[in-house]
């Protein structure tokens, strides 16, 4: 690796738009790649590709995601505001091309399920479908949409209603081995990465050395 | 992979606290592993380990992160509110054990730099240090702290001031190859993964098939 170089924001701001977007989108690091499934008021399903997703807490079980400005990404947000329910579905390599295609701007009334060949999986009592191909997926109910006036994005917070995963991926300590599910990450605007298990460590304490624990138990 | 099982939130809520936390923390997927460096009012530096980080936009260049409740994670947030500046530093395998140790609860007045052996790197005109070992790092100025009353967490939004990265990692299209920097991800409460480049695709359009593009250019 060569020497580090400092790029100041005045310089970055002067760059061509796509060059700048590629550069700045890499900064936040590798992010979780997920499909969010919703249904509109006419019953048409929708799939959107999202990777700005955060864990907010386990009790209550809250997860948030960033929705781009309405004019750039209207359907998922409108459907969640209208129907309040959505599913979040991890993406693995066999479904990556179809998932990427969900980022195309299909017109109103066209389902990305139909267009890309991903499969709706309906569950009794849930008004939105899962993505059948996904190996780690969960259903959410909207709690609050927080507009971010700085740039027109939205921070959407929901609570977990139910989770679907193979019990074979759940360890004796509750840890879900999403590396075995091959859950992917994204970086930049258009790049995807695959994750291999590196290490787990015991809860860190000031007076204790770092101690590895087994990945699965 | 065995059959999917449905875990309802009523059942999940009845589980033992750590089992439940391991399970629910995996849902949000693999997340970017970063150290946030700050300085308190007495000049003592602080390093905290964060992975709930989102890209909010490239123009203006905004990045957000989730800070846990004040009683659980007081220092980073207080230092940012006091001094307004912070750096975000990607973590790679050679610095992982030291980074993990930064999640231990050190008392006020003790710097995680000193305690873990990570190195402060000071830059002219920047009132907070970078982590010298990090290969992708950037300096931020606070824009807004959004409290999330639902569970006492905070969504902290800042703007990018400058970026430090080796020009050898920056492609001709502005894409920063963070897989070559070996930027890590985290999952669950205590698990870390390594990422390999899988694919980049051209911007998706409704009437075009998915098309691969080179990882680097």
Chain A interface includes B81 (CB < 8 A) = no
Cβ contact A6–B103 (<8 Å): no
Q: Which residue of A has its CA nearest to B133?
A: A4
Q: Which chain B residues are closer than 8 Å to A188 by Cβ?
A: 175-176, 200
| Residue corresponding to tokens 């308190």 | B40
* A101 and chain B in contact, CB less than 8 A: yes
Contact A46, A40 (CB under 8 A): yes
Residues in chain A with CB shorter than 8 Å from the CB of B33 are 29
Tens digits of pLDDT across chain B (217 residues) = 568 999 999 999 999 999 999 999 999 999 999 999 999 999 999 999 999 999 999 999 999 999 999 999 999 999 999 999 999 999 999 999 999 999 999 998 999 999 999 999 999 999 999 999 999 999 999 999 999 999 999 999 999 999 999 999 999 999 999 999 999 999 999 999 999 999 999 999 999 999 999 999 8
* Chosen from A175, A183, A192, A214 to mutate, greatest number of chain B CBs within 10 A: A175
Of B191, B12, B16, B101, give the one whose Cα is nearest residue A175: B191
Q: What pLDDT, on the 0 to 100 scale, is given for residue A20?
A: 97
pLDDT at A98 over 80: yes
**Is residue A1 over pLDDT 90?**
no
Backbone angles phi, psi at B74, to 5 degrees: -85, -30
Q: Å from A37 to nearest chain B CA? A: 15
From chain B, the residues in CB contact with A164 under 8 A are 4-7
For B158, nearest residue in chain A (alpha carbons): A150
Tally the residues of chain B.
217
Q: Going by C-beta distance under 8 Å and a sequence separation of 6 or more, which residues neighbour residue B8?
A: A161, A162
**Structure tokens belonging to residue B207:** 């009437």
Q: Is A11 helix (H, G, I), strand (E, B) or coil?
A: helix
**Min Cα separation B41/chain A (Å):** 22
User: Is the CB of residue B42 less than 8 Å away from at least one CB of chain A?
Assistant: no
Nearest CA in chain A to B61: A24
Q: Which two tokens stand for residue A32?
A: 């979780």
- Split at pLDDT 50, 70, 90, the class of A2 is low
Q: ipTM greater than 0.90, yes or no?
A: yes
B191 touching chain A per CB within 8 A: yes
Mean pLDDT on A165-190: 97
Contact status, residue B129 vs residue B45, Cβ threshold 8 Å: yes
Q: What is the DSSP string of A194-210?
A: EEEEEEEE----TTS--
Among B13, B26, B190, which would you mutate to test the A interface (most chain A Cβ atoms within 10 Å of its Cβ)?
A: B26
Gap between the Cα atoms of B11 and A205, Å rounded: 31
B129 touches chain A (CB under 8 A): no
Residue-level pLDDT at B40:
96
> In this model, does residue A207 exceed pLDDT 70?
yes
* pLDDT, position B78: 97
Give CA–CA dist B81/B156, Å, rounded. 10
For position A217, what pLDDT does the model report? Answer: 81
Q: Cα angle at B58 between B56 and B64, to 5 degrees?
A: 25
pLDDT of residue A40: 97
For A19, which of B163, B173, B193 is closest by C-beta distance? Answer: B173
Output the pTM of the full model: 0.97
- Is B199 in Cβ contact with A192 (below 8 Å)? yes
pLDDT for res A214: 96
- The single-letter DSSP state of residue B176 is B
Q: Say if CB B11 and CB A10 are below 8 A apart.
A: no
Task: Check CB contact of A179 with chain B, cutoff 8 Å.
Answer: yes
Strand B130-131 and strand B136-148: the pairing is unpaired
Cα A192 to Cα A178, B124, B196, distances in angstroms: 16, 36, 9
Residues 16 through 35 of chain A touching chain B, CB cutoff 8 Å: 17-34
Question: Nearest CB to B96: which of A104, A155, A199?
Answer: A199
Distance separating alpha carbons of residues B187 and B58, to the nearest angstrom: 26
Q: Do A150 and B60 touch (CB under 8 A)?
A: yes
Task: Tell me what the mean pLDDT of segment A122-126 comes to.
Answer: 95
Q: How far is CA A61 from CA A43, A57, A194, B32, B87, in A?
A: 28, 5, 26, 20, 29
Q: How far is B86 from chain A (nearest CA, A)?
A: 14
Q: What pLDDT shows up at residue B217?
A: 81
Maximum Cα–Cα distance for chain A, whole Å? 59
- CB contact at 8 A, B23 and A167: no
* Token reading at B85: 């500046």
Average pLDDT over residues A86-93: 98
pLDDT higher than threshold 70 for residue A34: yes
Q: In whole angstroms, what is the distance from residue A73 CA to residue B91 CA?
A: 31
**Tens-place pLDDT, residues A134-158:** 999 999 999 999 999 999 999 999 9
State the smallest CA–CA distance between residue B165 and chain A in angstroms: 5
pLDDT value at residue A181: 98
CB within 8 Å: B148 and A170: no
A146 contacts B146 by C-beta, under 8 angstroms = yes
What are the pLDDT digits (tens) for A53-82? 999 999 999 999 999 999 999 999 999 999
**With a CB-CB cutoff of 8 Å, which residues 106-125 of chain A face chain B?**
106-107, 110, 115, 123
Does B145 contact chain A (CB < 8 Å)?
no
How far apart are alpha carbons A119 and A209 in whole angstroms?
48
Q: Do B97 and A146 touch (CB under 8 A)?
A: no
Structure tokens at B155: 């969504």
pLDDT (0 to 100) of residue B67: 98
């Amino acid at each position: 690796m060569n020497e580090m170089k400092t790029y100041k924001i005045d310089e970055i701001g002067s760059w061509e738009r796509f060059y700048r977007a590629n550069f700045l989108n890499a900064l936040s690091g590798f992010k979780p790649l997920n499909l969010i499934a919703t249904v509109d008021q006419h019953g048409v399903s929708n799939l959107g590709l999202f990777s700005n997703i955060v864990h907010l807490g386990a009790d209550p079980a809250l997860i948030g995601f960033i929705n781009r400005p309405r004019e750039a990404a209207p359907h998922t947000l409108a459907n969640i505001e209208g129907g309040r329910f959505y599913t979040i579905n991890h993406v693995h390599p066999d479904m990556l091309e179809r998932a990427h295609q969900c980022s195309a701007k299909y017109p109103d009334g066209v389902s990305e399920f139909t267009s890309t060949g991903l499969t709706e999986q309906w569950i009794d009592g849930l008004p939105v479908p899962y993505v059948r191909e996904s190996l780690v997926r969960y259903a959410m109910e909207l709690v609050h949409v927080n507009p971010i006036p700085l740039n027109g994005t939205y921070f959407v917070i929901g609570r977990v209603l139910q989770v679907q995963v193979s019990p074979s991926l759940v360890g004796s300590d509750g840890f879900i081995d999403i590396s075995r599910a091959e859950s992917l990450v994204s970086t930049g605007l258009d790049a995807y990465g695959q994750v291999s298990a590196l290490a787990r460590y015991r809860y860190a304490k000031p007076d204790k050395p770092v101690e590895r624990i087994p990945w699965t138990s």
